[in-house]
Amino acid sequence: DQQVKQNSPSLSVQEGRISILNCDYTNSMFDYFLWYKKYPAEGPTFLISISSIKDKNEDGRFTVFLNKSAKHLSLHIVPSQPGDSAVYFCAASLGGSQGNLIFGKGTKLSVKP
């Protein structure tokens, strides 16, 4: 059973507008959530994270929101740029002595000029 779900396989947005990528999870024991970006022929690169005790974390154009009661998080990209076109993975960590990440299936973002 999937513990981390990204229900939208793809998203298309106009340059300059907001991109919102969504992620749902089932395990309330996750202590950190992370977003990774992946370009073709490259490995995933870390983008931004949020602790389970926070509800928002911002880094430049990227903001992650966490709604623990709904077990939902979202990544906002404002403004979107063509270079943001990539696959975005949501991942969750069980914390403690483990650093293992559980990944969603990814959402392919296309930002059109």
Partner 1 sequence: DADVTQTPRNRITKTGKRIMLECSQTKGHDRMYWYRQDPGLGLRLIYYSFDVKDINKGEISDGYSVSRQAQAKFSLSLESAIPNQTALYFCATQAGTGGNQPQHFGDGTRLSIL
Q: Footprint of partner 1 on this chain (CB under 8 A)?
A: 4, 6, 9, 30-32, 34, 36, 41-46, 49, 51, 89, 92-101, 103-106
Task: Tell me whether residue 69 or residue 97 sits nearer to partner 1 (CB atom).
Answer: 97
Task: Tell me whether residue 17 or residue 46 sits nearer to partner 1 (CB atom).
Answer: 46
The minimum distance between CB 103 and partner 1, in angstroms, equals 4
Identify the CA nearest to 84 among candidates 111, 60, 49, 47.
Answer: 111
CA angle, corner 57, sides to 55 and 63, nearest 5?
110
The minimum distance between CB 17 and partner 1, in angstroms, equals 26
Q: For residue 42, give both structure tokens.
A: 């490259």
Contact criterion met (CB below 8 Å) for 76 and 88: no
The minimum distance between CB 3 and partner 1, in angstroms, equals 11
Task: Tell me whether residue 45 or residue 67 sits nearer to partner 1 (CB atom).
Answer: 45
Residue 13 CA from chain centroid, whole number: 16
